[in-house]
Structure 1
Amino acid sequence: MTTVELVYYKYKPLKNGELPLKIRITKDRKIRYVNLGVSTKPEHWDFSKNQPKSNCPNREQLERLIANKIGEVKAQIVELKADRKEFTATSLVQKINNRDKSVSVRELFQEHLTYLAEMKRTGYMLSIKQTFNSLSAFSSSLDIPFSDIDLAWLRRYETWLRKQGKSENTIGIRFRNLRMIYNLAIEKGVVKKEYYPFSSYKVSKLHKATAKRAIPKEAIRAIIHYPVKDKDFYTRLAVSLFSFSYFMGGINFVDMAYLSSKNIVGGRLIYTRRKTGKLINLPLSSEALSALEAWKHTGSNYLFPILSSVHKTEQMRLNRLHKVITKANNALKQLGEHLQLPVKLTTYVARHSFATVLKREGVSTSIICESLGHSSEKVTQIYLDSFENTQIDEAMKHLL
C-alpha cells in the first residue's frame, strides 16, 4: 500500500518565516518526501483543509502545482505497478526527482536551434528562433517541463499573440513550430504522449488562405524586360533573381544565393534545396542564362552577387541574406507599383507564377503541383522526383 499526500512542513521554517510544501510518500511504513520547491506563510494556509487560504498570494498557481505534482507521483506509481516493477519509497522519490531534472522547453528549443545551424537550415532556424523569442516574451520562464504546456496554456498564448496584433498566419506558424518541438520532446522521451495538448488544440484552425500571388505572362514579360539603369544595383539584381526563379522551377531566394558554377552541369542546374534536402535537376533555359549573364564577371564563385568570401560565418551569411532580400523585395515592390500590378511584387511571386502558369497551360498537376510551396511542398517534390527529365523539360517550354 502506497499513500501520497500533501504536507505543509512546519518542522523546518525557512529564514523568511515561510514553511515549505512537500509531498509525503509512505510505503511499507517508510516515509519519504518530494520537495515542491515552494513555500508560503502560516497565515496563508488553511490547516484544517490542508490547502491555501483564499487570501494566499498566487493561490491558483499553488493549487495547480500541487495537483500536478500529486498527479505525477500517482501516475508514476501506477506505471511501476503496471510494469510489475518493485519499488520503495526511496526509489520512487529518486525516480521522480530525476524526472524533474529532464530537458526543459527552453533547453530543447536551444538544442534544436543548434542542430538547424549545423545543418545550415538558416531560413527554418530563423522561424524557430522567432517562435522561441515569442514564447520567451509570453512566458516568465521556459525552464518548465513540457507537461506544463496544456490546453489552457496554449489558449493563453493564442490570446496573447492576438493582443500583440499578430496575423492569423503568423500565429499559425508559431503554433506549428511549437507543436513540432513538442513532438520532438515526445520522440526523445522527454514527455509522455498522454500530456500532448495538440490533440485537443487544433492548429489547423489558425490557417488563413493567402491571396493568390501569381501574375499573368504579360506582367512577367514586363518585369523581365523592364529597363533598369546600370547604377540601380538592387533593382537590376531583383529583376535578375525574379527572372531566374521563374524560369528555373520557382527556385527560392536562399537557394539562388548559394548557387555557384558547380551547380551547372551539362547545361542543367543541379542543386539540393536547403529547406527540404531534395535534389533538383532542371534544364538551363536561354532566358535563365540571360539572367545570369549580367553577373558573370563579378569575380565571385557564386552565380549572383549576394554572398562572397567575406561572409565567413553562418551568422554573417544570415545577416547578408536578410539585407539583400529586403532590398530586392523593396525594389520589386516599387517596380510592381510602377507597372500597376494587382499584387505586391516579391521574389516569391515568381515561384508562385511558375507553378500557376504551367497549370493554366494544361500541364499535369502530377508534374507541377499547383500548391508548389504552399500546403504540402514535400508532396510536390515527391511528384516531381517520379518523372523523367524529358517530361519536366517539355513542361518548362510553356513558360513564355
Structure 2
Amino acid sequence: MNATVNVLCYKSKTLSNGEHPLMIRVCKDGKKKYVSLGVSVKPQYWDFEKNRPKRNCPNKEQINTLIKEQEQKYSEQILDFSSRNKSYTLTTLVETVDSSVKAKTVNGLFIEYIEQLKKENRIGYALSVRQVYSSLVKFNGHLDIYYQEIDVNWLKNYEFWLRGQKLAENTIGIRLRTLRVVYNLAVTEGLVKSDNYPFRKYKVSRLHTITAKRAITKEQVKQIMSYNTGSSCFYKKLAVDMFAFSYLMGGINFTDMSLLTNDNIDNDRLIYVRQKTKKRIILPLSEQAKEIMDKYRDSKRKYLFPVLDNKNRTTTQVKDRIYDVLANVNHHLNEIGKSLGIELKITTYVARHSYATVLKRAGVSTAIISESLGHSSEKVTQIYLDCFENKQVDDAMKNLL
C-alpha cells in the first residue's frame, strides 16, 4: 500500500509565541509519521479544513510554495518506489526524501554563513557578507523568504534598487556576486533545486568595470617618501613610513604590515603569510626598509609597527583597530598628496599598485610581478613571488628606486 502525504497545522503543540508548527504527515499501513516543515503559524491564520494558510496569513505565498515543494518531494519518492516495486517503511521514505526536511530561509542561511566565516577567522569577508545581508534586508524589508523566490526578475529589481542608491558598478557587482555565493550554498544544502537557479540567465559578470589605475610615478613615490613631516603629528610620520615600507616590500598591504613581528625577519629577508590569500611571501629587505623597521621597533611591543599593542584582543577587535589606524594614515597620505600636487588620492593601496607598475615599466617580467594588483590578479602575483627563485625577485626589486 502506497503512503499518503498531507500538511497540517499541529495544534497539539503550541510554541511560546502562540503559533503551531506546520508538519508533513505521512501515513502508510495504518501508521503515521510527522516531519516538521520548520515554520509555524498562528491558528487564526490557518484554514483547518483545507489545510492551507488563509488569505490574510503573513507570508502566505512563501508558506504555500514551501508546502507544494515538500509535498511534491514525497509524492515523487513514493512514485519512484512504486515504479521499482520496492517495499519501504515510513522511516525509509522520510530518510530518503530528507531525514530533516529543510525549510531554511534566505535570512537563516545568510546568518549561518556569516557566523561560519567568523569561526574561520575570515573576519574581513564576514563583514563584507554582513554588508550585503543588510543591503538585502533594506531592499526587501525582510529576508524571511525562500530561495526559490529569488528569480531573474527579483535580481533585476534588486539591481535597479542598488543603482538608485548611487552605488558604483563594481560595488553592485560585489553585492550580487556575494548573493550568488550564498545561493550556491543553498543549492548545495538542498534548500532549492538547481532547476530554479536564476544566475544562468542573470549574468553577474557584466557588472564589472576595470578598476581605475591607482598607481603614481616613481618620482611621485620618491616625493612622498622624502616628505618632510617636521615635528608634526605622529600619524603623519607613520603614514609616510608605512607607505614607503609597503612600496619597498612588494606592495605589502596595511593589514599584513600591522601584524608583522620580529619572527617575520630571517637573514635580511621578510617572510610572511598574506592574510587574504594565505600565500607565503619571501622578499629581500632593502636598507631603507630596515631603517623604517628600526625606527619603530620596540622591545616592549610584540609588533614591529605601532598599530597594535600587546593587549589581548579578539579577532574582530584587531580588525577594528587596524581599520581605525588605516583611516587615520590614509587621511594624512591624502593631505600629503594634495600638498605635493598629486592628482590621484593617495592611500597605502597606491603604494601597492605603484610597486607593481614601476617594476612593469622597468621591463620586469609580468611572470614575476603583474601590472595590476586587483582581485583578479593579486593571487597570481603572490604565487609567482613565492615560486620564483630569490635572486630573480632580488634583481627585480632593484628597479624600485
TM range (shorter): 0.7 to 0.9
Distance in structure 1 (CA, Å) of the matches to 2:149 and 2:88 = 26
Residues 30-75 of structure 1 show CA distances to partners (whole Å, capped at 9, x for unaligned) of: 888878755898999998xx99999998665565445444444445
Map 1:118-137 → 2, pairs under 5 A: 121-137=122-138
Maintained 8 Å contact 1:105/1:142: no
Q: Structure 1 counterpart of 2:236, which letter?
A: T
Q: CA 1:299 to 1:77, structure 2 compared with 1: closer, same or farther past 3 Å?
A: same
Maintained 8 Å contact 1:19/1:41: no
Q: Structure 2 counterpart of 1:245, which letter?
A: S
Distance in structure 2 (CA, Å) of the matches to 1:79 and 1:333 = 67
Q: CA 1:374 to 1:217, structure 2 compared with 1: closer, same or farther past 3 Å?
A: same
Question: Which is further off, 213-222 or 146-155?
Answer: 146-155
Q: Which residue of 1 aligns with 2:119?
A: 115
Q: CA 1:61 to 1:98, structure 2 compared with 1: closer, same or farther past 3 Å?
A: closer
Maintained 8 Å contact 1:371/1:380: no
Residues 181-209 of structure 1 show CA distances to partners (whole Å, capped at 9, x for unaligned) of: 34445556665544443333322122222
Question: Which is further off, 179-188 or 106-115?
Answer: 179-188
* Deviation of the 1:165 alpha carbon: 3.2
Maintained 8 Å contact 1:106/1:144: no
Q: Which residue of 2 aligns with 1:263?
A: 264
Q: Which residue of 2 aligns with 1:346?
A: 347
Residues 270-321 of structure 1 show CA distances to partners (whole Å, capped at 9, x for unaligned) of: 0000111110000001222233243134742211100011253223212211
Question: What TM-score, normalized by structure 2, do the two folds share?
Answer: 0.80
* Deviation of the 1:77 alpha carbon: 4.9
Distance in structure 2 (CA, Å) of the matches to 1:267 and 1:30 = 76
Structure 1: segments with no counterpart, 5+ residues: none
* Deviation of the 1:268 alpha carbon: 0.5
Matched, 1:232 2:233: yes
Maintained 8 Å contact 1:106/1:143: no
Maintained 8 Å contact 2:5/2:75: no
Maintained 8 Å contact 2:261/2:304: yes
Question: What TM-score, normalized by structure 1, do the two folds share?
Answer: 0.80
Map 1:210-221 → 2, pairs under 5 A: 210-221=211-222
Question: Which is further off, 174-183 or 272-281?
Answer: 174-183
- Percent identity of paired positions between Structure 1 and Structure 2: 47
Question: Which is further off, 344-353 or 30-39?
Answer: 30-39
Distance in structure 1 (CA, Å) of the matches to 2:260 and 2:20 = 64
What SS is found at the alignment partner of 2:271? Answer: strand
Maintained 8 Å contact 2:270/2:285: yes
What SS is found at the alignment partner of 1:274? Answer: coil
Distance in structure 1 (CA, Å) of the matches to 2:367 and 2:253 = 21
Maintained 8 Å contact 1:282/1:392: yes
Q: CA 1:154 to 1:42, structure 2 compared with 1: closer, same or farther past 3 Å?
A: closer
Distance in structure 2 (CA, Å) of the matches to 1:293 and 1:100 = 58
Q: CA 1:124 to 1:44, structure 2 compared with 1: closer, same or farther past 3 Å?
A: closer
Q: Which residue of 1 aligns with 2:273?
A: 272
Q: Structure 1 counterpart of 2:380, which letter?
A: V
Counting matched residue pairs gives 395
Question: Which is further off, 276-285 or 65-74?
Answer: 65-74
Q: Which residue of 2 aligns with 1:286?
A: 287
* Deviation of the 1:269 alpha carbon: 0.3
Map 1:138-177 → 2, pairs under 5 A: 138-142=139-143, 146-177=147-178
Distance in structure 1 (CA, Å) of the matches to 2:44 and 2:181 = 41
Maintained 8 Å contact 1:2/1:25: no
Matched, 1:397 2:401: no
Q: Which residue of 2 aligns with 1:99?
A: 101
Distance in structure 2 (CA, Å) of the matches to 1:203 and 1:85 = 45
Map 1:326-341 → 2, pairs under 5 A: 326-341=327-342
Distance in structure 2 (CA, Å) of the matches to 1:242 and 1:84 = 73
What SS is found at the alignment partner of 1:265? Answer: coil
Distance in structure 2 (CA, Å) of the matches to 1:259 and 1:203 = 37
* Deviation of the 1:342 alpha carbon: 2.1
Query: What value does the CA root-mean-square deviation take over the aligned residues?
Result: 4.2
